[in-house]
Amino acid sequence: MSSTLLVWALAAYPARLGWGEVAVVYSATAAALCLVPTLVTLLWAGWAHRQSAEQQLLVTLGGTGVRMGVVLGVGLVLHFTVPYFGQPSFWIWLLAFYLYTLAVEMVLVVKGQTAADNRQEPTPARPRS
C-alpha cells in the first residue's frame, strides 16, 4: 500500500501550506488509521483466495466491517479523548483516506480473484491438425 503513502505525501505539503501543521498531523493519522486495517484485510483476502467460496465471501463482507469498525472506532476514540482531534477537518481527512484505501483494496482483491480464477481454469486442449 505504498500508494497510500504516496497520496499522503502529495497531499500533506499543500495541506500544510493551506491549513498549517494540524493538517499534516490529521492527514498522517488518517492515512495510518486506514492503512493498517486495509493491510490486514488484504492479507486475509490473499489467504481466502485459496479457500472455499464461502471464505471468500466472508472476507469481502467481513473485511469491510473490520476496516470500517477499526477506522470509525479509533477515530471516535481520538475525537472524544484527545482534544487535538476534536475538529471536523480530522473527519474529512479520515473519510478521504478511508475511501481511497477502500478503492485500492477493492481493485487489488478483484485482480487477485481474477488471477486465482485464471490459474484454476484448465486451458482447453487444441486439436492437432
- CA 107, 108, 113, 117 dihedral sign is positive
Q: How many structural domains are present in the chain?
A: 1
Decide if 66 is inside a domain.
yes
Decide if 124 is inside a domain.
no
Residue 64 pLDDT: 82
Decide if 128 is inside a domain.
no
Domain of residue 54: give its range: 2-116
User: Which percentage of the chain shows pLDDT scores above 90?
Assistant: 48
Q: Label residues 56-70 b or e (16+ Cβ within 10 Å = b).
A: beebbeebeebbeeb
Residue 127 pLDDT: 59
Decide if 48 is inside a domain.
yes
Is the pTM higher than 0.75? The answer reads yes
Decide if 40 is inside a domain.
yes
For the cut 80, the answer to whether the pLDDT of residue 82 exceeds it is yes
Give the residue carrying C-alpha cell 491438425: 129
Decide if 11 is inside a domain.
yes
Name the residue with higher pLDDT: 60 or 98.
98
